[in-house]
Amino acid sequence: MRTSIATVSLSGALTEKLTAAARAGFDGVEIFENDLLASPLTPEEVRARCADLGLSIDLYQPMRDIEAVPSEEFARNLRRAEHKFRLMERLGADTVLVCSSVSPLAEDDDALAAFQLRRLAELAEGFGIRVAYEALAWGRHVSTYDHAWRIVEAADHPALGTCLDSFHILARGSDPKGIEDIPGEKIFFLQLADAPLMAMDVLQWSRHYRCFPGQGGFDVAGLVGHVMRAGYEGPLSLEVFNDVFRQAEAGPTAVDALRSLLVLQESVGLTEPPAPVVPTGIAFAELVTPDVEPLSEILEALGFARTARHRSKPVDLWQQGEARLLINTGPAARRDGTQLAAVGLESPDPAGAARRAEALLAPVLPRRRAPEDAPLDAVAAPDGTELFFCATDRPELPSWTGDFEPTAHKSPVVHTSLVAHESPVAHESPVGGGIHRIDHLALTQPWHQFDEAALFHRSVLGLGAQESVDVADPYGLLRSRAVTNADGSVRIALGVGAAPSADEGGRAQHIALATGDIVTAARRFRSAGGRLLPIPANYYDDLAAKYELGDGELAAYRELGILYDRDADGAFRHCYTETIGRVFFELVQRDAGYRGYGAQNAPVRLAAQHVRRPVR
Ligand SMILES: O=C(O)c1ccc(O)c(O)c1
Ligand SMILES: [Mg+2]
């Protein structure tokens, strides 16, 4: 189907919005009246600009407070409408949106509304224009789609139809099934928006919190299914009023927007992009650092061993069990400081995963590799993290590990597989620090890309998104949402601060390492010279009140700074290292059933990290 986006959904001046929509790949736009009024371009110039960009103008909007008013008022409204129809002629737009009246002058009189809308349609017809009547969820007398349709049906004019807007329909809790009773050709337009489920005034909800389909809590795809079965053939158009998108850069927002429509079309069976290839594990996490010393000290204390070095790049492989870290001291490190720059995702079909990503507009990264290196498919996540689709040591596919040469240096890790010509990647259980794999990665997103990040990881990678949780930080609020595969072997916690933050804490990333015995692992780390984040005594007094932990257990947690959480299915114990650049490590002991990340301990951890942070 054709795709379209309302200019109100994007930031910037009208020309910037148009450029962003076209670059992302939209077919058309809805021109929001205020964007035109504020533009120095004449309607003819806007028309020409759209034509140059290959965009159709699918809708001009909105016209307000037209119908069901006393006749003198309606005469004034018709005069106003005629002005707008002339403007639309200059723009080359042939459909206008009329939203249901919120005027105190409007009467609760469907017959009058139908009569006046018919008059409006007669006028519009003379200009070759169609009128699409939309129920605003807070309309004075007309606030539901079926009510708007009854009025359109009664008016019975070929130039009058209805505009359906998923937000108004779903926010009112209307049953969208009734849409199938509307003849498809009378649905003149379809506007799509999702929103997080919130208990609040519907106008505020609509004007500030709409988001792209798949980013909120509504079943937008289900609604689109009904609209398709009704026989609708017009564009799928996004109309998203959102405080964050208004401030974010238009280009990336437009790509995020189009991705949401691609996923939506797939989910209702309109298109068939390459199927998602769900990752089956984390092959590696790659850190870049300008100064390898402090990082090496922490990794050694954690029990990691430097097992191999990249043949052509300044990249070392550090390993413990199935936990693999790449430490990159190349040029990016000098530019960006210590941070988590890339994630290797173990993929059953790396090429297929890349095809899926590309079809969903993920930027495919150029292969930066020497001729003899394994070809690795990689895309950039919205936060810039490079995601590599890997096949680790599978004979049928090239393995990234082949690009590494085992280091001569003797390591504390038992490498039975480390013989000549074999992969340097150990598969044996470690004897080092008791760490066996990466439990999860926590990636802080730029403040304006949180919704985009969740949709990206869900749709591009095929991961499932958990509920988002809010966490109190001493200086703000953090939101966090985890995306995981079914067996929990890939867990990525996406986080964001509530406000733009230049502070390192607001950009922190961490790597959580799984251990079967956190007390032993934490003790080993400390005795090897590692420093654990100290946790206040008050926390342990509270823990003693909440849970019946054995005395020895509680004392050990208190001594080591181990946090504890429990849900119906199991317990979670975790502690933290100090932060280097943007990165810190977490040791995690997770019972098999526990699905969370210790969110209720996060405020204590964040406060403790603020205490440790050097004052600037
Ligand atoms: O918030 C509004 O006023 C408004 C205007 C036009 C629309 O299509 C809409 O859904 C809402
Ligand atoms: Mg609308």
- For the chain, what percent of residues have pLDDT higher than 90? 85
Q: Which residues pair with 470 in a beta bridge?
A: 479
Ligand 2 centroid–CA 185 distance in Å is 18
Tell me the average pLDDT across 238-266: 97
Is 191 a residue whose pLDDT tops 80?
A: yes
- Measure the CA–CA gap between 615 and 107, rounded to whole angstroms: 63
pTM of the model: 0.93
ipTM of the complex: 0.99
Q: What pLDDT is recorded for position 461?
A: 97
Q: Does the pLDDT of residue 412 top 90, yes or no?
A: no
Position 417 scores a pLDDT of 38
Residue-wise pLDDT for 349-372, tens only, equals: 999 999 999 999 999 988 766 667
Alpha-carbon distances of 414 from 69, 308, 309, 357, 526, rounded to whole Å:
83, 14, 18, 37, 22
According to CATH, the topology of domain 3-268 is TIM Barrel (3.20.20)
Q: Among the listed ranges 164-168, 329-333, 606-610, which one has the minimum average pLDDT value? A: 329-333
pLDDT of 415 above 60 = no
In this prediction, residue 430 carries a pLDDT of: 43
Atom of ligand 1 nearest to the CA of 165: 10
Averaged pLDDT of the chain:
93
Q: Is 73 annotated as a binding residue?
A: no
Q: How far is the C-alpha of 604 from the C-alpha of 540, rounded, in Å? A: 11
Give the residue from 452, 463, 453, 514 showing the smallest Cα distance to 279.
Answer: 463
pLDDT for position 429: 41
Q: What is the pLDDT of residues 193-251, one digit of tens each?
A: 999 999 999 999 999 999 999 999 999 999 999 999 999 999 999 999 999 999 999 99
* Positive or negative torsion for Cα 518, 521, 527, 533: negative
435-444 vs 404-406, strand pairing mode: unpaired
pLDDT of residue 145: 98
Gap between the Cα atoms of 357 and 379, Å rounded: 7
Give the pLDDT score at 474.
83
Mean predicted confidence (pLDDT) in 76-105: 98
Residue 567 CA to ligand 2 centre (angstroms): 42
Mind listing the pLDDT tens digit for each residue in 521-570? 999 999 999 999 999 999 999 999 999 999 899 999 999 999 999 999 99
**Residue 505, pLDDT score:** 55
The reply, when asked if residue 44 is annotated as ligand binding, is no
Q: What are phi and psi of 27, to 5 degrees?
A: -85, -30
- The phi-psi region of residue 408 (left if phi > 0; otherwise alpha if psi is between -120 and 50; otherwise beta) is alpha
**Burial class, 72, CB count within 10 angstroms (exposed 0-12 / middle 13-18 / buried 19+):** exposed
Span 294-323, mean pLDDT? 96
Please name the residue whose Cα sits nearest to atom 6 of ligand 1: 62
Domain 3-268 and domain 281-611 have a common topology: no
| Residue 609 to residue 533: CA distance in whole angstroms | 7
The number of helix segments (H) and strand segments (E) in the chain equals 18, 24
Please state the rounded mean pLDDT for residues 473-480.
85
- Is there an atom of ligand 1 within 6 Å of 532 CB? no
Identify the residue whose tokens are 């795809």: 221
User: Which pLDDT value is given to residue 227?
Assistant: 98
Tokens standing for residue 338: 């210590």
The conformational region for residue 151 under phi > 0 = left, psi -120 to 50 = alpha, else beta, is alpha
Taking alpha carbons only, the member of 429, 434, 616 closest to residue 521 is 434
Integer Cα distance of 372 and 171 in angstroms: 56
Which CATH architecture fits 281-611? Answer: Roll (3.10)
Residue of 239, 240, 243, 246 best suited for mutating to test ligand 1, as the one with most atoms within 8 Å of CB: 239
Q: Which position has the token pair 């609040």?
A: 200
Percent of the chain whose predicted confidence (pLDDT) is above 70: 94
In terms of DSSP H, where are the helices of 303-419?
A: 331-336, 350-359
Q: What pLDDT sits at residue 272? A: 97
Is the model's pLDDT at 610 over the cut of 90?
A: no
pLDDT of amino acid 506: 64
Residue 215 annotated as lining a ligand binding site: no
Specify the amino acid at residue 614. P
| pLDDT tens digits for range 29-61 | 999 999 999 999 999 999 999 999 999 999 999
Per the CB < 8 A criterion, the answer to whether 197 and 209 are in contact is no
Most distant CA pair in the chain, distance: 93
pLDDT in tens, 141-182: 999 999 999 999 999 999 999 999 999 999 999 999 999 999
| Contact status, residue 363 vs residue 349, Cβ threshold 8 Å | no
Q: What is the pLDDT of residues 425-453, one digit of tens each?
A: 544 444 588 999 999 999 999 888 999 99
Determine contact, residues 338/373, Cβ cutoff 8 Å: no
Which residue's alpha carbon is at the smallest distance from atom 11 of ligand 1?
A: 136
Ligand 1 pocket check for 239: Cβ under 6 Å: yes
Category of 12 on φ-ψ map: left (φ > 0), alpha (ψ -120 to 50) or beta: left
Q: Per-residue pLDDT averaged across 102-127, rounded?
A: 98
Instruction: Please give the helix or strand (H or E) that residue 465 lies within, else none.
Output: strand 464-473
**What pLDDT sits at residue 122?**
98
Decide if pLDDT at 387 tops 50.
yes
- Of the listed ligands, the closest to the CA of 137 is 1
DSSP summary character for residue 49:
H
504: nearest Cα among 599, 598, 604, 579: 579
Q: Please name the residue whose Cα sits nearest to atom 9 of ligand 1.
A: 136
Least confident of 10-24, 307-321, 396-410, 578-592: 396-410
Q: Which pLDDT value is given to residue 65?
A: 98
Strands 435-444, 491-497: pairing is parallel
- 174 touches 146 (CB < 8 A): yes
Instruction: List beta partners, residue 3.
Output: 236
Least confident piece of the model among 66-70, 519-523, 607-611: 607-611
pLDDT at 421: 41
Instruction: Give Cα 518 distance to the centre of its chain.
Output: 32
> Chain-centre distance of CA 490, in angstroms?
17
> Ligand 1 atom 5: the closest Cα is on which residue?
62
Q: Give the pLDDT confidence of 393-404 residue by residue, as tens digits.
A: 898 888 999 999
| Atom number, ligand 1, closest to the C-alpha of residue 163 | 8
Mean local confidence (pLDDT), 302-311: 96
Q: Which ligand is nearest to the CA of 190?
A: 2
Would you say residue 598 has pLDDT above 70? yes
Is the CB of residue 35 below 6 angstroms from any atom belonging to ligand 1? Answer: no
Q: Is 469 exposed, middle or buried (0-12, 13-18, 19+ CB in 10 A)?
A: middle
Residue spans per domain, the chain: 3-268, 281-611
510 known ligand binder: yes
- Neighbouring CB atoms inside 10 A of 199's CB total 5
* Amino acid 366: pLDDT: 82
User: Which residues are near ligand 2, the ion (C-beta closer than 5 Å)?
Assistant: 165, 191, 239
